[in-house]
Structure 1
Amino acid sequence: MPPSPVAPQPAPHSPAPGSGIRHRARTRRPRRVAFAALAGAAALVGAFMTAPGSAQADVPPPPSGWTQVWSDDFNGAAGTSPSSGNWKFDTGPGSNFGTGEIETMTNSTSNVALDGNGDLKITPIRDANGNWTSGRIESVPDSFEPPAGGKLRIESRIELPSVTGAAAAGYWPAFWTLGTPLRNGGTWPSVGEFDILEDVNGQNLAYGTLHCGVDPGGPCNETSGLGGKTACPGSPCPGNWHTYSLDWDRSVSPETLTWSVDGQPYWSVNANQVDPTTWANATDHGVFIIYDLAMGGGFPNGVAGTTTPNSGTQSGSPMLIDYVSVLSSGGGGSSPPPSGGPSAYSTIQAESYTSQSGTQNETCSDSGGGQDVGWIANGDWLEYNGVDFGSGDATQFDARVASGAAAGVSGLVQVRLDSPTATPVGSFSVGSTGGWQNWKTIPANISKVTGTHNVYLTFSSGQSADFVNVNWFTFTS
């Protein structure tokens, strides 16, 4: 039976910055909602997948005509967290996500950790009091989209929790994306959500869904979305390895999204199924990738016809992820070339970022007023697309910063090009300037830069405490 709808999604909120103690209040992300409607037969497109099986597999090489944009094979020591350069945690009560799920998402390695065999393991755990914890991670990169006239494929080899029947009541593993504008003030579902894989209650079913438009109702029938489902080929989805993928194709008209399992397409949505504005709002930008394993909520409850999980639900059955890979084909590159951005030699206001991770804007007391970006700590970053360095060999970076960090707390402000994990072209160290609104301009030498780039400011301190605010920056030859 179709699952019953879940509660409407709350819009993300930005807590107002305080004037006293520094805090790191995080914007809560919406998450994918229950699938309901099924429609139409899948349109067939070519797909390349790793064959299912139990053996460990590294990220497969791209097929002919494709280029690998980004990947993670989750190699590393057992019991360690996934790479902080690739992933960040979204933590807190499941009730914050608006879908009725009941677990608390944590960054504990009991819930999210490498298994030492080349897999990421997300494990839901029920404690002695009946409370559930689990995990949810988001990719740090968030600019994944097809090049103009080309294609993008997002795929992952996954073993769904090896639990079925009554013991699986409430299990809700997922591999999905959200539109990057959500990290910079956008709203769900207009920014678009691509659910590449969802499964509930240990069914032998993979669900794929597009969310868009407005909630409730609208052209994507929210909160259900536009979706299809399929049984996994060859072996059941739970407890077996299968490769789940989404092909996003701008080389055809109308632009099309196609879902596949082990290379077999089963569901497709194209731009003609909704109005042009809705499609553009949902797809004319990058996306970021999410894995999570929720417990309970509108989708599993609706399928089960009762509240889940329950006393018979088995604790501790993990979702295993062997690899994730983002591939690009055609159109001249892995993503649209940056254009239309600011000159590197102008004053670039920090709050004019394209996207960010971990920061907040606040009122700035520096000359000219406006806003600065604050609450910046280790691992946070800011992205500025299409910064034009021309042919003039920029060799210096200047930034206007302030810090009220405690004694002994300092960190690096780093400049990276085209990826938040690229080798920095330059950096400077900053500690307390005497207050969070006591501003100082600090210069740093950088490697020679020409051309047009997406510029990332990244922040590294090795400590959890906030250590800097940024008002503006610029480059000089």
Structure 2
Amino acid sequence: MFAALAAFILPLTMVTTASAPAQADLPPPPDGWNLVWGDDFEGQAGALPDSDKWIVDTGTSYPGGPANWGTGEVQTYTDSPENIGLDGQGNLRITPRRDASGQWTSARIETQRADFKPADGETLRIESRLQVPDITGEEALGYWPAFWALGSPYRGEYWNWPSVGEFDIMENVNGIDSVWGVLHCGVDPGGPCNETEGLSDSRACPDSTCQSGFHNYSFEWDRSGSSSQLRWYVDGQQYHSVDEGQIGASAWSDMTDHAGYFLLLNVAMGGAFPDGVQGGATPTDATRPGEPMTVDYVAVWESGSGGDDGGGDDGGGGGVDARSTIQAEDYQGQSGTVLETTSDSGGGHNVAQIGDGDRLRFDGVDFGATAAQQFKARVASGAPEGVSGLVEVRLDSPTAEPVASFAVAGTGGWQSWQTVPMNMSPVTGTHTVYLTFTSGQPADFVNLNWFTFSTT
């Protein structure tokens, strides 16, 4: 999204069959994947996207950052319902407008979370089902819809691009039936990612044009092999990839050895990319305003164990002896948490970024006929002084009265682990166990590696 491509691939075919209409809910995770985060844009028509999930950018730059968002685009971003809002049918619409004086406005949003990154040995998949503005020819000149990701260190710095990394999952310009996938990294100009163009490829959308229907635009960051790989897809068909070895260890480390990425959706007007493809300044007098990008959902999945219990779909599994060591990452549902690689003995993952209102769900926990009377959990906390909270055990409902509870404050670090025992109300039989987390502060306060129940 930052830079123009000097060349582009003109699609060889134009298929006009429209794809299926928008769907209301997030799709179930693909086989072998689990939901990390998602938004299906449900809500009242005209409402802004969920502020717990999204930041609405406004103006012509970040404070102190490059002018015109670093790309030469000409519009001003706003939070006006004329430019951005839910449509009441499970979609987000971002619509460029032009006023009587010829000034363009549009909208851009980015996720609150900036930590999207696969765990060691896993693969992260980022996907959106969307329809780019349904406009072509001279009337489309300057339209630049995009779905992309920026490295988290960019927030607050704004001058460390492209070293922090940028994954352009879907870019489309000037109403051309083509999706571009681009990696930006290293230094500008030149460097291992050939800046400012980036490492890119493109293709026509399958079955129907990009403009005439919804398509799934996906990106995978694969850390499962000896060398990591990035892959781009449209409707499940791969058309671009970059291997770690192509750009070298130093540039790869700069763009991956940080907290992760935040996601963005926007429709720019004009700028380096559409101007470069057109061979002249865009938009023009012929450009027609008012055509939206329509977004059905955004989802982030990761391979491996886990699931989601907060607007997403359940993981598999369930059914475990309450007296075994139950790994926190083996939940069947969750809300508000993420997985990370743990330094605790035994390795694997712990559940992280746990704060007030978050929860984990474990199905079919068998306590047997002899009552369990103690709960024990392995926790760590790097919360600052004055930040603490409760770890609670509830049965069969996340709002049931807790059968066990203990308080956690800072343990000296997010990987400084302690085992905390706590007496509990006697429990027999098989139950769905909810671990809920309550705090008087908005900050995260605990990580969880495992837990177990015992008779004493």
Q: Is TM-score (shorter-chain normalized) higher than 0.5?
A: yes
Partners of 2:381 and 2:414 within 8 A in 1: no
Partner of 1:305: 279
Pair 1:81-2:42 in alignment: no
Question: Map of 1:361-400 to 2, 5 A cutoff?
Answer: 386=414, 388=416, 390-392=418-420
2:34 is aligned, of 60, 67, 74, to 67
The residue matched to 1:96 in structure 2 has which SS? helix
Partner of 1:223: 196
Partners of 1:250 and 1:256 within 8 A in 2: yes
After superposition, give the CA deviation of every residue in 1:21-63 in whole Å (9 maximum; x if it has no partner).
xxxxxxxxxx532234679xxxxxxxxxxx9412434211012
Pair 1:238-2:251 in alignment: no
The residue matched to 1:427 in structure 2 has which SS? coil
Partner of 2:438: 425
- Evaluate the alpha carbon distance shift between residue 348 and residue 298 of structure 1 in structure 2; reply closer, same or farther with a 3 A threshold: farther
Identity of aligned residues (%): 49
CA distance in 2, matches of 1:345, 1:136: 33
Pair 1:259-2:220 in alignment: no
Partners of 1:388 and 1:451 within 8 A in 2: no
- Evaluate the alpha carbon distance shift between residue 138 and residue 189 of structure 1 in structure 2; reply closer, same or farther with a 3 A threshold: same
The AA in structure 1 aligned to 2:235 is: D
The normalised TM-score by structure 1 is: 0.65
Pair 1:128-2:156 in alignment: no
CA distance in 2, matches of 1:198, 1:223: 15
Please, what is the CA RMSD of the aligned residues? 3.2
- Evaluate the alpha carbon distance shift between residue 73 and residue 294 of structure 1 in structure 2; reply closer, same or farther with a 3 A threshold: same
CA distance in 2, matches of 1:345, 1:239: 50
Structure 1 residue 253: Cα displacement: 3.1
The residue matched to 2:252 in structure 1 has which SS? helix
Runs of 5+ in structure 1 lacking a partner? 1-30, 40-50, 351-383, 395-421, 430-443, 454-477
The residue matched to 1:229 in structure 2 has which SS? strand
CA distance in 2, matches of 1:309, 1:388: 55
Partner of 1:322: 296
Question: Map of 1:132-281 to 2, 5 A cutoff?
Answer: 132-183=104-155, 185=157, 187-281=160-254
Partner of 2:323: none
2:264 is aligned, of 290, 295, 300, to 290
The normalised TM-score by structure 2 is: 0.67
Partner of 2:88: 116
Runs of 5+ in structure 2 lacking a partner? 10-17, 62-66, 307-328, 330-337, 345-351, 353-378, 388-411, 423-434, 451-456
- Evaluate the alpha carbon distance shift between residue 279 and residue 80 of structure 1 in structure 2; reply closer, same or farther with a 3 A threshold: same
The AA in structure 1 aligned to 2:121 is: G
Partners of 2:5 and 2:277 within 8 A in 1: no
- Evaluate the alpha carbon distance shift between residue 37 and residue 220 of structure 1 in structure 2; reply closer, same or farther with a 3 A threshold: farther
CA distance in 2, matches of 1:274, 1:163: 36
Partners of 1:123 and 1:293 within 8 A in 2: yes
CA distance in 1, matches of 2:39, 2:305: 24
The residue matched to 2:89 in structure 1 has which SS? coil
Partner of 1:337: 341
Pair 1:34-2:47 in alignment: no
CA distance in 1, matches of 2:82, 2:413: 37
Deviates more, 1:60-69 or 1:328-337: 328-337
The residue matched to 2:38 in structure 1 has which SS? strand
Structure 1 residue 284: Cα displacement: 2.7
CA distance in 1, matches of 2:421, 2:141: 60
CA distance in 2, matches of 1:90, 1:393: 46
- Evaluate the alpha carbon distance shift between residue 127 and residue 242 of structure 1 in structure 2; reply closer, same or farther with a 3 A threshold: same
- Evaluate the alpha carbon distance shift between residue 57 and residue 77 of structure 1 in structure 2; reply closer, same or farther with a 3 A threshold: closer
